Structures are given as C-alpha cells and as structure tokens.
Structure 1
C-alpha cells in the first residue's frame, strides 16, 4: 500500500496559513495564451478518446494541500477526470458514439485555439501547450533535445513529488525519505528485493543501453538525459519561485518560511530505479516455484507420488483446454510446458523450507498512525493470507510464501473491420494500474523530430508515450505474466571445507565454493508533520548469487540449499526503452507488422494490442529464456550447468531467448480480448488460475456476441466493457451450476428457499454490483451480493477441504487464493482497488460441479470433490454452507475500515484513490476496468 494521506498538526496548519498570501503570490504563472503550433497530421479525425482519473495535475503547493485537508478544495485539473470516469457506471446503458466525450477526453492531437489554457516555453525550441478541458501537456519541439526537455519539464510540473517517491522506492529508501509509516515500509520491502541494485549496477545498465544497443540506444540515452535536464530545470525554478510541491515542507525537506532545503537533482540512474518498480509490478511473470513444490509434496504425501502428481497437475492447469484465449483461431505457441520426463528438479525435503529473512535490526515503533485495512471475511482472509497495510511478514522476502500470480489488471477489446459498422477496426483498451492520487501515469502529447504520439507514460520514465496513439494507429498493453522467472536450488558450502548448514553464505558455482554477495539498505526515520510515526529504523538485507536473489533455505536430499529467484529482465530494467522509442516513431511504425517488431523489443512480459484503419493486431513481448531440455519451469531446478538457461551469462544476466515467431502474435483475427488471461494454445500458464472460468470470459462472451451480430461501434464495444466491469464473475459464470445442484431436488426449508430465490433473481438480472440509482450507495441486489460474498469462501472450503485434507487444501490456497471479490483486500493498492476476479478457484469449482452434474469436462480435475463425487451429498454440502452464509450479518461480511463503517457494502467495494501525497479524492463506484483507457477508431491511414 502507498503512503497514507498526509495528516497535519493543528498548530502547524495555523502557522502555515499565515503564509498563504505570500505563497499564493509565488504560484507559477501561465504563459501568454497563444495558438497551438502548426498541427501534426491526425488520421483519427476526432474518433480517438481517452481518460485517466483523477486528473492530470499531480502537484500541489503547501497552501493547496492545506486547503484540500481543511475545506476539500482541489488544485485545478487534479480531479476533473474523476466524475467522467465514474459517470460511465450509470451512463453506459444509453451510450452512443456522440456521447463518448461525456465520459472520455477528446484525444485528438493539438489544442484548438479557443481551448488553449496556457503556453509555456522552458526553452526556445519547445512549447508546452495545455488545454482547458483537462490541462494535458501538448509538447512540441523543433529539436529532439527540446522535445524531450519539454517532456521532462512537464513531468516536473505534474508529478515532481511522485517521481521523487518512486526513485526512493526503487532504491529501498522510502522510509528514510518520506517517513516510517507501515505503508511506506511495505512498499520498499515489496519492491527493493526484486531489484536490489547498487549505484554501480544502475550505472552499468545506463552504459549498456548507450553502448550495446546501437544507434537507437545512443538516441535513447540522449533523450533520457534531455528528459532529466527538463525535470531538473523545473525543480530549480519551482524551488526558487516557492511553488514546489508542499510535501517537501511537510516531510521536513524544505523550511516553509526560510525556503532552506533542497530537492535532490534527478539523474539517469533514477530512471532505471523507477523503471525497476514499474516493470517489476506490471511486467514480471513466473516465480512461485517453491510454493508449487510445496503443493506438489503435499499432494504426493496424501495420495502417493504418481496419483499425487496427477492431482497437483490438475489444479495447476498449465494448459487448460477450456481456458479463454486471446488468440482463438487454433494457432499454437508452445512454451514452458511440462516435460515428458523432467530433469534436474530440486524438490525440498518435507518440512525443511524456511523463508529468507528480509528485515533485520528493527528499532522503534512500527507506527502510531496506522490505518486499518479493509478486512475481508475471516475465511477468505485465511485463504488469501492477506497482510495488513501491505507489509511483508517480518522474516521473509516478498512473495516467499505465495504463488506466481502478478496483479496485472488491464484489459483490451478489439474488433476487426469486417464486423464493425464503419469497416474500420475498433479498440477499447488500457492498463489497470491501480488507483492513486496522483495517478502513477500521466497524459502527454509529444511532437518533435522522430516522435509523434499522445497517451500515457509512467511518471519519471516519460521520454516516450508508453501506451496511446500515433498519427494513424493506437496501441495498448495488458500484463502477460508468462514465465520469465525461475527458481534454482544452489548447494551450500563452507570455504574451509567444513559441513555447511542452511545458514551458510557460500554456495557451489560450477564446482567452486563461492561467496554470496550481501546487499543492504538501512533506513531510519523520525516524526514529521506528514508522518507522525515514532522514530525508528531497520535494515533490509538480501543475498545475491549467480542465480539471482536468495528467497528460501531448505534441504534437498539432506543437503542444505538456498532457493534463488532469477528473472530474465534483472539487470535489464530499462532496455525496453528501445521498443517504446520505436512505438513513438512514425517513420518506424507504419502497419501491424512494424508494430509487432517494435513491441518485440520490449523485454517485459506484456500483451500488446494495435489498431489502425485497416488491421487489429496482437503481440506478446518478453525475454522468454530458452531452458535446458527436460527442465520443468514450474518447479525449482538444480543450479548446475546442465540445467541453466541456454547461453546463460551470470555477469550480464543474459541468455538465449525464444525468437519473434515463437511469441504469440496475430493480425486480423475477428476479435481479440485480454484481461490477463491465457494468450494462446500451448502457451503454458506461469502460475495457478488460468482455468475454465476467468474474468476474461466476461469480455469474450460479450464481444463474441457483438461480432456475431455485426455492425459494432465504438459505443457498443465500450458498453460491453462497462457491463463486464460491473459484473460479478461468480454470479454470471458459476451461479447457474450452483443453482442447478441446489435445485436437483426440492428445497424444503422455506428460509433457505427464499435465499436461493434471491440468488436466482440476481442472476436473472445480470449478476451486477450496481447502485439502485446514481448516488444511492446501495446495490439493487444488495442482499444477494452479500450472500455471495459470504458464501463463496465457505462453499469452496466445504467443497474441497474434506477431500483434499487440511494440509493439501492449505498448500493449494497458499498458491492460489480462493476469491478476489471487490470487497477483498488485494492488488497493488490493497482494498478499494477496483480490480477483482483476476485469480481464484472459479475454474476448479466449475469443473468439479460439471463433473458432479455429469456434463462434459475437458481437462478435468483428477478427482471429483464436492460431496465425495455424489450429487446428493454435494447438494447437502452446498446448502449447509449457504445457510451459514445467509445468516452472517453484513457487519461481519464487511467489517469496515477507516474509510467505511462496518456493514457498509457499497463503500467497502468502492474505489478510493490512495494518496501518494497531500491531496485526497472522494470514493467512486466500484468498476472493474482499466485506469487509463482509450476508445479508438481510425477512419484513415497515411
């Protein structure tokens, strides 16, 4: 979780308010209003729209922060996209193409003369024109350097404090910078161990891009330097003019009266640090092999090796034939599948695994101003292993006890021109990156030599638009999560030849006893106006090896080992800059094929989507390693030469990677959908959960129906997305089977029959979580929603735990949480995060119930669990759990937190933008949709 909303002592507020007149007088003044420079060719012709709540402006002066805290006022353009985004909940049913701009920005290039709000020229060779509607910076340079300088300057104007936070998060120094709040501790503990770089490591990555990536690499680093120069120019100017972000005063960095203090200059290595945070959160994939091994061992202990392996694999569902696919034309792309005869697997001895400690030498209070997290029902929390406030359990590295699930949370819907009213492809797509204030991304338009694009970039790495539109094409991404991270078991040793223990800090590397490298961060903090957490400190420590970062200790065959996590993008956090440079270059991207080539230069695991006036297309990017023959990528493997990635060089962390053609890709398919689902046949899942039911089914069913009807429009495709965004996956996809079992014979209990009728009515009306009327804060089917929220974790446990046993059920739920309802605490921003139903036991329940009902099942579970395979017993089991759920009061189903009272269902579901600074935002209706979203249809092409 991000840092909590800034709180202030009354005396400080009173003292600072006396400075109001002086500080307001020092606010930045807009340049003279002028016409936009000569417009660039725009082939979208007014049919490109986008939205990014809550607003473009992410900076606030001290007075603006105090005004927000005291009176609820907001700086201009800090919240003006929030109501439009929220309005689609009620407005989508009557949506037309003409009404799209009621809920989205006009994403045309340039700014009409009568819509110009301000023009700034930080250099003679660049102008930053902002529009009145949203304050988006439209940056136009006459030189390449000027264009990128302007991009950095605009980033400083809109996200200076946020960029400063994230360079410290990436370096594991957030608490020393912003205070010791538990949320701050959780962030640095989450991200730094994934990329624990020294300054020399960061500098080496800059040098690699500049010297090893050819002319484009040199240009990329020149662009990055210009961008950093622009940030620093704004940093200097805002400091001198006293209109810098007020958080610097509230955290004690600058004195409000004397202006003494400093905002540290930005440098190129800061960009690498920020990129490691962004890429690690949204572009990773794989890992979790230790938890998978524990699940396998539990299954083997219960059923024996052969049958246990079969049971474990049936829950793993690596290549479920019933999984919804992005490429659904039958084209297969085999990757990371289970080998016929595995070699080199290193399963731990039962009971020997211990997580590697991360936090050491803690002193002081853990926090005096801690915010209570939203608490899901107790059974659900048990199944999910939820950590309050996002804090990693002390004594373990992040992810050490969990599976490989990455919270990607993005979606895409594209329809080929053959099925649209206009004959041109239509796309509704965007990344769902969580809800923050300010947002992690910022909108911008870049126009300069070799650059022509509008869209979003993550703050601090905005040299190029990362998702958006060019002159005659648009593109977006969803997190792919394919397996680019492996776990190795390194045999421990002692340099003197004595017997090693699990605590040994040397390991055998190609027969030589080699020392691990210890990497540390020591953070200390003291109370500030912004953070009253008591003084304290702690040290984070990780061990780095030639096979990655140590995450666990164990024994294998009686010998002590350390398990390590190695991902292909480690030490290559910013190499993807080349691909983004190409996507912004109108001379490079001219069609679907050139787009796919550009996307192939992005190293992180993403699904990339493209639309122009002629073609919709798709490409899956990522540094997919070529593994040694016979290695099972789903389990830990011995750290020996024979089982390494082919061509592996531990110094540079490079290897042989699968070629372009082996990555799932397609052009011209009738339609594409993606919601972090399985990409294509044969492309094995990196973790648990890509099974017969997935939230992408909510999109696939609706888009397939639109395509069958024909005449798809931008509005109809947006309606399909918005309807899916309000739908409870369990109600739509699984309730029919549950009801069929319950109704397999008459229900004689009148109270229970009434409960079932409520669920039937909810299902018949669409299984939505939607207000009865706008602003009522009450769901139309509130009781049915409450019953489902209470019932699901109980029914899963009742259905599976008796057959699996406590140990195996616990191991499987540790690898894959049973539920991710909107009321659960999950995702990159914890509770109130919007995203829901990405991973859960939906597919397992679906297959098990169909087996009970005697219906066809492809890729069935190895056993039938509900009622031990008997329909009558299964019905009794489900009825008993339903009766228990129906009697659970709303105050227990929705316990409440600092934002919501106990029993407040709508509020518990609601989206709350997590404050990363001093400005807070109101709660909005739950909706499961991208944070940044485009609606595009190009009628013409160059």
Structure 2
C-alpha cells in the first residue's frame, strides 16, 4: 500500500476509534422557564466563527481528512461576513440573516439538548448557535454551570491562554516562534509571582459582601471547569489538541489535563487587561521623538511641531462627549517638573531573554500560517500528523497585538422612529478559531444576563444584556501608565553601569526584584523545531517592571513602568458582578456607578427603553499638577502619584464626577476616539482625523436634517463606515484640492488622479464587485492609494524633519494601518496585521490633513504653524504629491500586497481578508474585510421593569 494510503487508513481508523468516545448524550431534562425579557425580540447579536471551540481527536482527524468542522464551530461566520456586502438590503424582516436572536430563554423547537451537570443547575443548548443557557436554582449552581459549559466549549483555548498569561506557552505547546513571542509579550507586561496572584484574590475577598460573593462565584466556576475536565478525560472526549501537543495519549489515555485554580482566573484577567484595558506606557519613545525634533528645529519650533504631531488635545478631534463639557485628565502642564530626557543614542530595551539554547537561539519572530488550511498528513503516524498542525505555534500570530476597533453607536429616543433608544455596539477582540469570547445566558439568584465573556472569566457576562437593558464597551486607553527614571547604583559604592541591577529609591540602593520563567521545550511538542530553552527574566523596581535602560547626563538609569492596575487585575470583578445583577442595575445612573468599579480603561455604553448613558472607566491616578505623564518622570517622591503606596500599588484616584460621563446625550459614538474635551490621548492617534469621524459624520448628518434612526438604519451607518477607507473619505479630498490647483499636463498622471476621484465619488469604500466575487470595485484606485500613502507621507515629512526625527516619530506611531497591514514608508516593507480586520486606528491621518490644509493657506487649529510639506511652498508640495503618485502607480502589486502563507503575492482581496487565527486544530475560511467589532449587539428595548 502506498505511504499516502497507509496514512489515510491510519487516520481513518483513528477517527473511527475516536467516534466511539464522544461526549455523552444529554438526558431528557425539563426546560426551565425563561427569565423576564423586556426586549420583545428586538435584541440581536453575532460572534464569529461559532460558539463551539472544542474538537475531539476524531473531529480533528476528520477536519484534516475531509475538511469537516464540529457542530457550531463555524455557523456564525457566514452571517457575520454577509453584512459587508449586504448591509444596504438590510430590513427589520431580514435582520436574522445577519444576526442571531438574543432573547432570553430557548424556544421548545430550538432546544438541542438539556442536561444537569449538578443537581442545582440545568444547561440548555439551542440549535441555532449551540449557546449554553445556564439556569441555577442556587447562585453557586449558576456559576458552576457557567464553568462547566465554558470548558465544554473552550477548554483548550482557556488552557493555552492561562499559560500565555504566565509566560509559559512553550513548555505546553512547543518552541515555535509564535509561541515564544506570545509568552514574552505577556510576561513583560504582567510578570507576577504565584504569591502575588493569590494576594489579588485575597484582596478582592476583603471588598465587603460583594467581594466575598465574587470569590464564592469564582470558586464555583472553577469547580465546574474541573468537573468537565474530569468527566471528559475519563470519558475520552477531551479536546484533541491535547493529543496534538503530546499531553494525552489517544490510545492509552496516559497523560494529564491540569485542573484550573483560582489564580488562573487572575492570570486571564491580567491578560485581558494588558491586551484591551490599559493606556500609556510609551513615554520613552515619546521622549526620543520629541528630543529629535528639538535637535532639528530648536526648542521653540521643535516643541510646536511636537505638540501638533502628538495631538494631545487636538481642537479638531471629535469626542464621544460633545455637550460642551470638558473633563481634563492626563494633559501636559504649562511648566512641567521632573521630566527626564535620556542622552541621545543611549536608550536600549531591557533584556528579557537569557541563556537561550537550541531553537531558542533564533529570535522569536511572528510565524505565518500553513499555506493550506487543511494540510495533508505527512507521516504514517496519525498522532504525529496531528501534531503538525502546531508547526507554527499554538497561537500563530494575531495575539499579543493591541486590539482597538471596538465601536459603539447609541442614539437617544429623541432621534429614533420608535422614541426608544437604539444601540449598535460591540468589542473588538480579534478573530480567532475558536474565538476568545464565549456566548452564554446566566440565570440564577442575583444573576440575569446574556451575552459575551472572555473564556475562562465567564462566571459573569462581561458584555451583553440584562432583562431590560444592554451594555457594551470600547477600549479607551487614557494614560494610566507612567515611566519613572531611577538612578542605577551599586551597593558597595562602585560606579554603576547600565547593566547594574540595583537602583536608588527614596535614598536607598535597593536590588531589583527578579521574576523568572525557565522555559524548555521538546521536539515534536507542538512544532518540529529542535529542542530549546531559555530564561525569561523581568527586573522590577518598586515602581514596576523595567522597560528600558539609558544614560541621563552620562549617568546610568533604568526606566520602570508604573501601571495603576498592576497587582489589581481582578478588582474590576465588582463592577462586572453589578452589571449582571438586575437588582443593582435599575437605571442609567446605576450602570454608571457600576462601571466606575471597573479599573480598566474602557468606554462603557448603556441603553434601556428610555435612557442612554456613557461612562469612561479606569483607575485614573491623581498626579502632581506639575507632572507631565507623556514624558519619563524622575523617580522622586515629589513626582510620584498622590497617595501612592509602593507596598500594594494603591494611590489617590480621580472621583466619579471627573471621569467623562453623560446621560441622554443626543447620540454617542466611539471607535477608540477621544473620550471628551480635555481628556488627553495616551498616544498620538486621537487627532484631527480618526476613524471615529466615519461614525460621527453618518449619525450627525442624519440627525441634522431631521432624520430618525431605527435598528436597520443605525446598523447600516455602522456597516457603511466599516467598509470605508478613512484616508479616502477624510484626507484624499484635501490632497486632490492641492493637486487641482494647477492643470496636469501629463495625461497618464491625470488619469491616475481621475481614478482616485472616481473612487472617492463612489464613497471610497473597499467592497466587492458583488458578494463573494473576491474582487474589489475600484480595485485599481484602492491599490493606488495603498501604494501612495507611505510614499506621500515620507515625501511630505522626512525632508522637513530629517531622517532621524522621522524615524523616531514612526517608532512612536506608525504612519499607516491599512486593512492589508501597515507600512512605515519603505516601498515593499509591509508588516501584516495577520488578517485581523482592524484598520485606521493608528496612522498619520490627522497630521497629513493638517499640513496639507496649511499648505492650501487655510487656518488650521492645533497645526504645525508653518507647513512642512515642500518647505511650505505649495508648488513644491504639489509636485511631491504627483511624483509619489507616479511612483506608486509604477510599483508592482506584489510590492503593495507581497503575500504571505495565506495569500499569493499581488492578491488584493486576500491581503485585506479576515482570517480566524487558529488556537488549536480547526481552521476557518477567509471572509471579506470589514472594520467591525468581533462581537456585536443590535438592541432596542420597547419596555422596561
């Protein structure tokens, strides 16, 4: 028998054996009565690719051989994809073609199975999406059922993520570059000891009755997870990835799936907080960029250019709150003290990796995915063939990058057809298979909710709906991380160097605390790289982990990051508990107060039948009034946070009224834009042109002409913005106005400009010629702008600011984030986004707009003063635009879309396309690009309690 045939026969036999040990069938349990629901079937939601993220060994084999997928693992993907091309045909009668019903309970004809993992809890799975509806007769039973159901759906994902959060992926899943990159990124941000993880649990338990209840809920939740692990292991229906990673033998069942502990929940909370709930921390990069401008232009002109580029409080930036109120926070004072600027060229990143051996000697670079989503088996051993699915890592790219394309549109009843508020909102958590979020309904004493939670933290619904209200969040990222410069020293009095691991703190020369992870991996454990090992070491000061070392006036210093949520990753549990409690949330004001208990930096949105609300949460530390949080700060008590206690990292925090907040504004939009006037952005992207403009324009213009919204029209506004190129809608008109200042004599160049103008006139959208065509309308114009943008930005700014300052500013913020990736100005240098959808959050969009408008002679609030493009000469700037446009037209498509393991070079649609990054063995099909939340709700409550 040929080798290929023997391989298929072996795998088929394995699949047959595996099919005999699937999960047990459910018993015929009565269906609990649904909880009170005031949404009247006007609540909908969607979360691709599907609810089920567990695949048995047999299902993994079938996926490899036949391309089949387990039930409910991809049944929400097509609906989600359909909106990008079909939103204009959306009606109230067809909303179920794009979203799933989010009503409480399960219709009798939609019940897939009912079972009771414990006497005090019943779980009902629906046929539509396989969502678990958990009904507890006790509160403990509800939390227990949530843990059991989440483990059923996402056990391997949760296992991989708890190890990622600890910086220990490689011993679990092998030393693939993506695994190493993942554990390094998270360990650098949250290098906790096990004792510190337990301390956080103990601290929450002391937060009164709600803290005690939260701890009891978490314990029951973990018990439910571990009950499923035990049953699936004994019943041999555990996720097949445990076989692929070598942790369980598929024949003898030898091996171990480690039970979960409470400290694992803290790790997962820290991972979520680091990924989605922080802000600031780039002060060293800011200092280098600012100094480079001062060196080029002198202090006065250099500071003017820096301020315009930084866009800290850009007067042209749109804000979520637009009712005339201001909420000052995080701004630069007029005469800052304690700023520490490193000597030019002295900054180096803190070493993280030590003693690498074997495959660890090579740098951990992001891995690409296998060329085929279902690679054929390569050996006669079915287990070895399955292990090959992890050649590129258990999480091959996409994770570890900050996500921020969450968005929200909430319109008050004064501007809706029904007179009731309408909301279309959701978070962006990236696209994964299985998805990081999990769907659920939780009903029990003190709990009544349905929606999404991060797998492993789902004892409460984090984003979703209650009986008569719904809520969601977007990443806010206000500045709650500061960088302190500490002088390095030696305890014996010897001169310190940059390598010294002692530092001065309040007059003492203290040793840095070190936290280590000793990681080693074996051959064929998740990848085929040779055996390797290394130590990950975090150096910590009383302020926090060291990120950089440098010299200041020739003396060695370390820069340490102080994060207000460090050692407080689970404090937010109280706020989430309240969100789920119908007795705690009876009004918009109640919701705002609950959101104030969340210490992560989120924008929270609320809607019920009569009111809307917004609140910006976060542990906003109170700084000394003369401290500049955008720059490194001297490690001195005079410049520390007010009331700061280094023993437990607590401080004085801004009170409720100083957080941006509002009830019943005419409308709210958020796409990670500025929260409110006066609230400084932690980075430079919240300026004159930001993707929130796309939402704001569509809502504001409709209201301005007396238009009324309903669920359909508000969803269409979101979807239209989600397929529009921000550069085309908001910057291209200014570029064309400058170009049109003179006639173009060259017909080929004129044709290029006409191509862009025609695309702009058609809306500047990146949409297929027809759904499923995998070819863009206006494809040539889109390719032209993609190739032009990095060239025009470099041509506009680099000659003016100089190569060194230009590089420093691109290190601070990339110039572009197009759907296919981002480019920092080098033709052909294309760093991909991993097909993750999010686009136009970061980029020099406002900076280009301000400078071009200044060249046109227009007044530009918050601008650069004298324009930079062409040395301020309109003719020279215009010539640069035409020259770079022609260069872009001559660039081959393979430079603009260089291809990767998923796409052929030059394939424009594929370069943009969204792909669910595998965290396990089940792959998904590509879908068309849309700039949209991962989980999304459409809600309109007609009545309330």
Is the TM-score greater than 0.5? yes
Match of 2:904 in 1: 901
Deviation at 1:38, TM superposition (A): 1.3
Do structure 1's residue 655 and structure 2's residue 672 form an aligned pair? no
Q: Distance in 2 between matches of 1:907 and 1:855?
A: 40
Tell me what 1:383 maps to. Answer: none
1:109 matched residue in structure 2? 104
> 1:262 is matched with which residue?
256
Which residue of the partner structure matches residue 81 of structure 2?
86
Distance (Å, rounded) in 2 between the aligned partners of 1:890 and 1:252: 42
Q: In the alignment, is residue 73 of structure 1 matched against residue 68 of structure 2?
A: yes
Distance 1:286 1:410 in 2: 18
Distance 1:273-1:10 versus aligned 2 partners, 3 A rule: farther
> Does the 8 A contact of 1:30 with 1:119 survive in 2?
no
Distance 1:369 1:343, change over 3 A: closer
Given that residues 141 and 220 in structure 2 are in contact (C-alpha distance below 8 angstroms), is that contact kept between their aligned partners in structure 1?
Answer: yes
Rounded Cα–Cα distance in structure 2 between residues aligned with 1:845 and 1:889: 25
> Taking structure 1 as the reference length, what is the TM-score of the superposition?
0.95
Distance in structure 2 (CA, Å) of the matches to 1:178 and 1:624: 38
The partner residue of 1:755 within 752, 756, 780 is: 752
Would you say the 8 A contact 2:822–2:831 is kept in 1? Answer: no
State whether structure 2 residue 417 is matched by structure 1 residue 421: yes
Aligned-pair CA distance for 1:702: 0.5
Alpha-carbon separation, structure 1, partners of 2:57 and 2:291:
56
In the alignment, is residue 509 of structure 1 matched against residue 505 of structure 2?
Answer: yes
| Contact 1:374 1:831 survives alignment (8 Å) | no
Aligned match for 2:20, one of 25, 30, 38: 25
Residues 9 and 191 of structure 1, relative CA distance in 2, 3 Å threshold: farther
- 1:557-607, CA deviations, whole angstroms, 9 ceiling, x for partnerless residues? 222110011100000111101100000000000110000000000000000
Residue pair 1:415, 1:427 contacting (<8 A) in 2 also: yes
Match of 2:697 in 1: 701
Note if contact 1:48-1:107 (Cα within 8 Å) is conserved in structure 2: yes
Q: How far did residue 21 of structure 1 move?
A: 2.6
Q: CA deviation at 1:120?
A: 1.3
Cα displacement (A) at 1:80:
0.2
Deviation, 1:35, is 5.0
CA distance in structure 2 between the partners assigned to 1:38 and 1:446 by the alignment: 13
User: Does residue 311 in structure 1 map to residue 301 in structure 2?
Assistant: no
Deviations 1:76-118 (A, max 9, x none): 0000000000011122001111211111010000001111000
Name the structure 1 match of 2:375: none
Residue 665 of structure 2: SS of its match in structure 1?
coil
Q: In structure 2, do the counterparts of structure 1 residues 51 and 291 end up closer, same or farther at CA, with 3 Å as the change threshold?
A: same
The CA deviation at 1:549 is 0.5
> Shift of the alpha carbon at 1:527?
2.5
Please report how far the alpha carbon of residue 29 of structure 1 lies from its aligned counterpart in structure 2 after TM superposition.
2.7
Retained in 2: the 8 A contact 1:54–1:439? yes
> CA 1:723–1:444 in 2, change beyond 3 Å: closer, same or farther?
same
Deviates more, 1:497-506 or 1:675-684: 497-506
C-alpha displacement of 1:523: 1.0
TM-score, normalising length from structure 2? 0.94
Per the alignment, residue 386 of structure 2 pairs with: none
Find 1:857's aligned residue among 852, 857, 860: 860
- CA deviations on 1:189-236 (whole Å, 9 max, x unpaired) are 11111110111011111111112x111111001000000000000000
Q: Structure 1 582/829 Cα, relative in aligned 2: closer, same or farther at 3 Å?
A: farther
Cα deviation for residue 170 of structure 1 reads 0.7
Partner secondary structure for residue 767 of structure 1:
coil
Contact between 2:437 and 2:453, CA under 8 Å: does it hold in 1?
Answer: yes
Q: Residues 34 and 113 of structure 1 are in contact (CA less than 8 Å); yes or no, is this contact kept in structure 2?
A: no
- How far 1:13 sits from its partner (Å)? 6.5
Cα deviation per residue 1:489-533 (whole Å; 9 max; x = unaligned)? 001111111211111111111001111011111111123264222
Q: Which residue of 2 aligns with 1:282?
A: 276
Deviations 1:769-827 (A, max 9, x none): 11101111110110000000000000000011110110111111111100000111599
Q: Secondary structure at the match of 2:731?
A: helix
SS at match of 1:442: strand
Q: Any residues of structure 2 matched to 1:586-605 within 5 Å, and which?
A: 586-605=582-601
Aligned ranges for residues 66-465 of structure 1 at < 5 Å? 66-211=61-206, 213-365=207-359, 371-372=367-368, 406-465=402-461
- Residue deviations 1:705-736, cap 9 Å, x none? 22233221100000011111100000111111
Tell me, yes or no, if the aligned pair for 1:671 and 1:707 is still in contact at 8 Å: no
Per-residue CA deviation, residues 436-460 of structure 1 (Å, 9 max, x unaligned), is: 0000000000000000000000000
Say if 2:572 and 2:600, in contact at 8 Å, map to a contact too. yes
The aligned runs of 1:388-787 (5 Å cut-off) are 406-528=402-524, 530-708=526-704, 709-787=706-784
Q: Secondary structure at the match of 2:321?
A: coil
State whether structure 2 residue 792 is matched by structure 1 residue 789: no
Q: Deviation string for 1:445-489 (max 9, x for gaps)?
A: 000000000000000011100000000000000000000000000
The one-character-per-residue Cα deviations of 1:404-439 (angstroms, maximum 9, x if unpaired) are: x95322000000000000000000000011000000
What secondary structure is seen at the aligned counterpart in 2 of 1:332? coil
Deviation at 1:305, TM superposition (A): 2.0
Matching residue within 41, 59, 71 for 2:36: 41
CA distance 1:390–1:753, change in 2 (3 Å) = farther
Per-residue deviation, 1:72: 1.0
1:815 and 2:809 are equivalent in the alignment: no
- Length, aligned pairs only: 911
Distance in 2 (alpha carbons) for counterparts of 1:515 and 1:409: 41
Alpha-carbon distance between aligned partners in 2 of 1:419 and 1:577, rounded to the nearest angstrom: 35
2:920 and 2:394 map into 1 onto residues whose CA distance is 19
SS in structure 2 at match of 1:740: helix
Deviation per CA, 1:530-564: give whole Å up to 9, x if none.
42222111211110110110111111122211001
Report if the CA contact (8 A) 1:390-1:830 is conserved: no
Please list the CA deviations of residues 224-259 of structure 1 after superposition, one character each: whole Å capped at 9, or x if unmatched. Answer: 000000000000000000000000011110000000
SS of the equivalent of 1:463 reads: coil
Query: Aligned partners of 2:191 and 2:5: how far apart in 1?
Result: 39
Residue 374 of structure 1, CA deviation: 12
CA contact (8 A) 1:187 1:390 kept: no
Provide the rounded CA distance (Å) in 1 between the counterparts of 2:690 and 2:297: 29
Structure 1: stretches of 5+ with no match in the other structure:
1-7, 376-388, 393-397, 400-404
Q: In angstroms, what is the RMSD of aligned CA positions?
A: 2.1
Is the CA contact (8 Å cut-off) linking 1:552 and 1:562 kept in structure 2? Answer: yes
**Counterparts of 2:565 and 2:483, CA distance in 1:** 14
2:871 is equivalent to residue 876 of structure 1:
no
CA separation in 2, counterparts of 1:370 and 1:632? Answer: 35
